[in-house]
Structure formats: C-alpha cells, structure tokens
Homo-oligomer: A and B are copies of this chain.
C-alpha cells in the first residue's frame, strides 16, 4: 500500500543520493487542448507522483537535499473553486497524505527559490512549455537554459530508485493488468468484417476508462500493423486481415499496462499468417524464458532477433548465417524496433528524463545501427525491473523497396520471396514482465496468445449486438 511513509522513505533516499543543493519539482497543470479552459485529462508529472503521490494540478514542491526538508506549494480552495469543482480535501490533508508537514501558498515559491539562488538548484527535464517557462522565471534564466539545464545527478538518482519497483508498485501494476486484459479481450472479440478500427479503439478506451483511468498511451488499433505507431483509425475490417492492437490502461495511481495482440479478422488465421505469427510468439516466449537478473536487455533483444531471423530463414525469407545476419542488422527490415522498454508510472518508464540515462549505462552503450538504435533498454536486468517483451515481424513495402533498390543486406534477404508478403501487414505480441530473483513473471493473467486461443476469442463474438 502507498502511505505517507512510502513517500517519506523515497524522499529521504533521494536526499541521500543527491547530497547537496535544493531540488525543485514543478507538478503538471491542466494542459489546454484547443483553449485554456478546455483541457486534456489531467495527468500529474510522474516524478511528482513518485515523490509526493498527489494528483493535484498546479502544485510544486522543494526538497532540500541537505536538511531533507520537503515543502509543498499549494493554495486553499476559494468559494468559486467549490462551486465549480466541488468540495475538496484541505491542502493540509493533502500534504499529510504525502508525509509533508510544511505547506506554503504557491505565491511563496519564488521567494523561496530566490533565497536559495546561490545554491545548486536541481530539476528534472521538462516536457511542457509552460513548465519550462515557469522554471525559467523562478531561476531568472532563459527557457533555452532550462531546456539544457536539468540535473544529471538528480536524474541518475531517480532512475536508480524508480527502476526497482517496490512491492506497492508491483501490487498496483499486477492488479491493473486485469484492465489491460479486458481491453484486449474486447478488441479480439470485435475482430470481424464490417467493424471499424475506430469502433474497436472506442471500445478499448471504454474498457480502460471504466476501470479507473484513461489509456496509458494513444491506442494503436489497425489492420496496417506494419505501420509501427499508427494513430489513425480510418479503416473498416475485412476478412483475412490482421488486426493489431497495442494498448494499455493507466491505473488509478497512474501505473501503466502495455500489451499487444494481433488477431485474425473473421476468426481464422491463414496458413501464411500462422507461420509468421508462430515465429513472433516463439520470440515472445523465448524472451520470457530467458529474462533474469544479470542478463543485459541488449542480449535478450539480440536473442529474440535471432529467433525471428531463424524463423524467417526457414520460410525462405532470409538466408545465410543468422547469427551474422542479426549482428549486421539484416533482420531489422522485419523488426525495426527494440524488444522492449521499462514500464511503471510511464509506459516508457522515466522517458521524460533521457532515454540513454534510463536504459543504458557506462557498461552498455546505445547502438546507432538501424533497429538496435530503437532499443530503449540495453543495460543489465535487475530484480524489480518491469519490462515489456514485444517482438514483431512487419512487411513494410516502402522499406522493402528501398533496401531492395539499394541492395542493403542482400546476402541475408531473399527479396524475391517478399512479393508474397507485400500486403501481409505486421504482427506484434507484447507482454509485461517483472524481473524476479531468479527469472521473471508475466504480470497478470496472460491475455490469450496461442493461435487457437486467439481464434477462439474472436469467434465467441460476445459483442455482436453492440
């Protein structure tokens, strides 16, 4: 359970790691959609959630690394607020939940910062212009200086803490996996000719919202799975197509689920689809079988790529030595992305900090090779990491044409064999794994993934009348 002690302990540990200076944490505000008062759903900043747990817009905090003192900057509600937003807990009640005893009005933040301006002021990278401008004003710096001035020391300290999930976090994640499962079960059951991508995406959103939170990232729901981040929903499903759904739900405490399933429209995979599907499933299972503390995720990625390349060689799509092909990056024509990323308060956990500081370290450096360059997590796994396991095989016509025309990796790829796959689309299968002491655990009840189980789920057609 998350209690005031949870946050007190985290802040104490962070102070110890950072050692000196004042840490400034600016929570998120309501973000405008098409005008100031028409906002997107409020999402608190993940760092703020991790250290204070308060889902309140417009608040800020300071944390003195030397004295350990935490101060929250938030205002009492006015009568107008109560009329428009209803009664809310007092700021002291809110602060108490975060284990903070010192609360100041928001207007005091600038004088507190001014009084500490000669000390080192640590802040994490910003991703909202309004936050950048606020910090710039508080510190008397330009927005450019803020954009490049985040504290690497603070980032590294936070990464070292947030990457190891605590029991309360694992419980929250595990519990919310049921919502992720419900989203995907609904999508599968709707994979029928005549349905639209939009209505399936709509049902997926509903399943997330009714379980307490919005989707954890924009849902991918497409019969063009070969487009990796497809955010439009223009198509109507046709029998014989593959429906790829990559979707997750945010829990009440803002932890993310992230799964992908690929279903046969109409309920029956073709033989060609089965062959490719099984390779992806083998790769997915191989990752889950291999993961354990000490292994680098880069090696897991390459191992999964070898499974994929090996399968494609058996089908006559690739040729030659598959270890060598993967080393050279030839498989990336079919799997141009990474095998996975960390998962937690963010679906790409901590990505606001800096992808390299999160997923790599002095030992494992990020590659620039096409495909491997997209791997977000390369470093050694540790007990308590939560990672995604998401291999895929895609046939991307524009990329195939380019490689063929330029003769890229022609020693490893039978370009002629690819004509039969030109309109295949793409398959991805994604689960969420908790790294345990001696291996890993697939979080939550596994969403149907075996060929016959997926076909069965499509064929139950539970929602045929809605």
B230 touches A86 (CB 8 A): yes
Is A202 on the interface with B (CB-CB < 8 A)? yes
Counting every copy of the chain, the complex holds: 2
A35 touches B130 (CB 8 A): no
The residue that A79 contacts in the complex, of B42, B132, B203, B398, with Cβ under 8 A, is: B398
Chain B residues positioned under 8 Å from A133 (CB to CB) = 129, 132-133, 143
Given contacts A133-B129, A205-B206, contact A352 B36 (CB under 8 A): yes
Chain B residues positioned under 8 Å from A230 (CB to CB) = 85-86
Is A75 on the interface with B (CB-CB < 8 A)? no
Chain B residues positioned under 8 Å from A336 (CB to CB) = 83
A35 touches B86 (CB 8 A): no
Number of A interface residues at 8 Å Cβ cutoff, please give it: 66
Alpha-carbon gap, A336 to B231, bound state (A): 40
Contact string, A200-224, partner B, CB cutoff 8 A, digits 1/0? 0111011111111000011000001
Given contacts A33-B43, A351-B35, contact A84 B129 (CB under 8 A): no
Is A167 on the interface with B (CB-CB < 8 A)? no
The residue that A39 contacts in the complex, of B32, B198, B218, B399, with Cβ under 8 A, is: B218
Chain B residues positioned under 8 Å from A347 (CB to CB) = 38
Q: A37-B351, A205-B206 provided; 16 other pairs, C-beta below 8 A? A: A31-B31, A31-B128, A35-B127, A35-B352, A83-B336, A83-B398, A83-B399, A128-B129, A129-B129, A129-B133, A198-B210, A199-B210, A201-B209, A202-B205, A202-B206, A463-B466
- Pairs A–B under 8 Å by Cβ, sample size 22: A31-B31, A31-B40, A32-B127, A34-B45, A34-B46, A35-B46, A35-B348, A36-B351, A38-B351, A41-B218, A42-B231, A85-B231, A86-B227, A128-B130, A129-B132, A198-B210, A199-B209, A202-B208, A202-B209, A203-B206, A203-B210, A205-B209
Q: Residues of A at under 8 Å CB distance from B? A: 31-43, 45-46, 79, 82-87, 127-133, 143, 196, 198-199, 201-203, 205-212, 217-218, 224, 227-232, 336, 345-348, 351-352, 396, 398-399, 402, 463, 466
